[in-house]
Structure 1
Amino acid sequence: MSAQGITLSYSSSNLKLSVSFRFLLALYAIVPLCVLALWLDRFGFDHALRDMLPSSPSHFLLFNVLFGTPHIIASNLLLFGHADYVGAYKNKLIGMTLFIIAFFGVGSLFIPYRVLYVISACWTVYHVLKQQHGIAKAVCRLPNWAFYSQLWLSVGAGIFIYLGVFLKNSLTPAQAGQILQVAAILTLLLLINTCLCQKRVPGGLGVPFLWANTLLVACSWYVYSQHYYFLAILMPRLVHDITAYSFYVTHDVNRHGEKPTHKLYQLASNWHVPVALVLPMLSFLLTFLLQTYGDELVNLITRTLFATEIYKAVTLGLVGYLALMHYYTEAFVWSAGSPLRRFIRFSGF
């Protein structure tokens, strides 16, 4: 979702379901819960939880099936599954596809993998935090300089936390320490900046949203510094993904709830499957199938036809393409005046 696109003026009383700001704010409860879990584990169970959890979320299949990839697939299904949306953004979709093929496909033959990974990591963090700050902007009503200082300090700290978590096995102790220190400095600056910006935020949900985004980053740094890497990624991942699904489900209910014109939703209606469950169920199912069987199925075909294998054609190639498209398209498809935004209204402000 675009940082500039979430506004309160665009709504319709004819829409059945709304995106609740109170619900979105409640998602941040995962932050104190993870910190509490850390303290209980540290002081009560001698780090048993930390030792049990995988050192990286990517090593845990269930995490990959539940977080990250499903909402990426859901986003692409929603966009590419509607001919009117594809028609509205056809040129942008074709252009971005060609760019991804050229830069990440052909470019991978010349650009070191570590460079491509860092670029992807930066884009991932920017996408995640821009969504959260973009939504909060509607209730915080910060001036542009304050909003962007909050956003970029959060993104800067988030990037170093992300790299510290996912590259820790390839970093020297000195490098890991430097990354932790830079993340700490940026997090401290974010806390100071939030104290200054708080004075410019109106009442209601503004101040809670402002601090929710700040504490999301600050607590991620703290948990990361204590080597609870899984929890450090879980917090922003859960908040981001469920926030995204709230938009997707709201869109589907408001567009297809009463008289679905899309064949998929017509089929779901005939089977008495609630419209709200169609996209989440399909995206989780496809994620499981792709993560579990995708690469092997592709290699079975390429071994049979060409006597060769393609390294992670699905889990890296296809899912990577969908992720990059998701990062790109989410920046404008929910902005005010877009065809998707016609089916979104807000409540609980």
Structure 2
Amino acid sequence: MSAQGVLAPYQLSSLKLSVSFRFLLSLYAIIPLCVIVMWLDQYAFQHTLRDLLPSSPSHFLLFQILFGTPHIIASNLLLFGHADYVSTFKNKLLGMTLFIAVFFGIGSLFIPYRVLYLISASWTVYHVLKQQHGVAKAVCRLPSWAFYLQLWLSVSAGIFIYMGIFLKNSLTPLQADIVMQIASVLTAALLISTLVCQKYVPSRFGVCFLWANTLLVVASWYVYSQQYYFLAILMPRLVHDITAYSFYVSHDVNRHGDQPQNGLFRLAAWCRMPVALVLPVLSFFLTYILQVYGDDFVNLILQTLFSTQIYKAVTLGLIGYLALMHYYTEAFVWSAGSPLRRYIRFSGI
């Protein structure tokens, strides 16, 4: 099925729910809130909060259940839950599945773990920031060179911030200082770039969006430099995840609101569950089940049938695969000409 054929019948005016740019911009309010919380903890509570929070969000099960994994599962449910989308993208999906199996599966036998980790971390940062810059592109309307300058400075700084947080226990003090210095230089370069690029943005609203993305990186660097690692990850994670869910929910309401078109939404309609809640509720529920019980359940079956076990078969293997597929597919499923885009309209500019 061609994308052109899928797109032909729809009319944007018939879509009930829109993705609001003003709502998306409001999500960046988490930035000053986190900085204020950090200052209060520093000057009023002598770092009590910093000492209570885990040194890494990945050490906090509740964080994993609330952020990151749910929207990854939601995007895969949305894509693989519709036969027409699978048919349209089947070659890309099969190709990426094969690549993941070879490179991250077989390749893990030969490629050092840290190399694979850095590749995955860099892809994660790129995915998160590319989404935010991609959303802002419609309102900022930067020249191509300015858009990519902003994007790559943000991603480069973000990668070193990410490394400084998640690899801090395996870095020597000298290496940690070098990572911090590089992150600082790249963050400063991003600030200078934004000052230069803002003159190309035609509207005040666009300038606000431009600076929101810059301050997302700057604030993450700042709280990371103060060793509030949890807050440094929380800010981009929350903005990214809720932005993603705004697309998923808008798609579902516009596609299934009047007439459910697959088994999942027909079941939800029978249960009288609002369409807007189906994907969020299901993705959070599945995240909890997989994170808490997934590995034990798989190993129980393997131990019973084959007297063997697989290390983190679900929390590392399955969820890792879904995450990589999510990073890959999100780069094209919402682009112009995609069948998913026929259920998305924007407002609030």
TM-score, reference length from structure 1: 0.97
Deviations along 1:75-102, one digit per CA (max 9) or x if unpaired, are: 0000000000000000000000000000
For residues 26-65 of structure 1, the aligned pairs below 5 Å read: 26-65=26-65
Deviation at 1:204, TM superposition (A): 3.7
Deviations along 1:185-223, one digit per CA (max 9) or x if unpaired, are: 000000000000011101141000000000000000000
For residues 1-349 of structure 1, the aligned pairs below 5 Å read: 12-349=12-349
Amino acid at match of 2:70: P
Amino acid at match of 2:313: A
How many pairs does the alignment contain? 340
Q: Residue 3 of structure 2 aligns with which residue?
A: none
Question: How far apart in 2 are the matches of 1:189 and 1:281?
Answer: 41
Question: How far apart in 2 are the matches of 1:81 and 1:243?
Answer: 21
Change (3 A) 1:191 1:82: same
Question: How far apart in 1 are the matches of 2:159 and 2:25?
Answer: 23
Amino acid at match of 1:232: A
| 1:126–1:155 Cα contact (<8 Å) kept | yes
| 1:11–1:346 Cα contact (<8 Å) kept | no
Deviation at 1:20, TM superposition (A): 0.1
Deviation at 1:293, TM superposition (A): 0.3
TM-score, reference length from structure 2: 0.97
Deviations along 1:292-340, one digit per CA (max 9) or x if unpaired, are: 0000011111111111110000000000000000000000000011100
| 1:19–1:346 Cα contact (<8 Å) kept | yes
Question: How far apart in 2 are the matches of 1:329 and 1:125?
Answer: 15
Where 2:258 maps in the other structure, the secondary structure is: coil
| 1:11–1:345 Cα contact (<8 Å) kept | no
Question: How far apart in 1 are the matches of 2:99 and 2:198?
Answer: 40
Moved over 6 A (4+): none
Deviations along 1:88-136, one digit per CA (max 9) or x if unpaired, are: 0000000000000000000000000000000000000000000000010
Amino acid at match of 1:286: L
Question: How far apart in 2 are the matches of 1:180 and 1:304?
Answer: 48
Amino acid at match of 1:126: Y
The more displaced of 195-204 and 108-117 is: 195-204
| 1:31–1:215 Cα contact (<8 Å) kept | yes
Question: How far apart in 2 are the matches of 1:271 and 1:117?
Answer: 42
Amino acid at match of 1:331: A
Question: How far apart in 2 are the matches of 1:126 and 1:216?
Answer: 14
Question: How far apart in 1 are the matches of 2:261 and 2:145?
Answer: 44
Amino acid at match of 1:170: S
Question: How far apart in 2 are the matches of 1:338 and 1:255?
Answer: 14
Question: How far apart in 2 are the matches of 1:84 and 1:62?
Answer: 35
Question: How far apart in 1 are the matches of 2:163 and 2:287?
Answer: 24
Question: How far apart in 1 are the matches of 2:286 and 2:332?
Answer: 25
Question: How far apart in 2 are the matches of 1:11 and 1:132?
Answer: 26
Amino acid at match of 1:294: G
The more displaced of 298-307 and 128-137 is: 298-307
Percent identity, please.
Answer: 77
Deviations along 1:12-68, one digit per CA (max 9) or x if unpaired, are: 111000000000000000001000000000000000010010000001000000000
Where 1:286 maps in the other structure, the secondary structure is: helix
Amino acid at match of 1:275: V
Where 1:340 maps in the other structure, the secondary structure is: helix
Question: How far apart in 2 are the matches of 1:210 and 1:203?
Answer: 11
Question: How far apart in 1 are the matches of 2:143 and 2:298?
Answer: 50
Q: Pairwise CA RMSD of aligned residues?
A: 0.9
Q: Residue 7 of structure 2 aligns with which residue?
A: none
Amino acid at match of 1:201: V
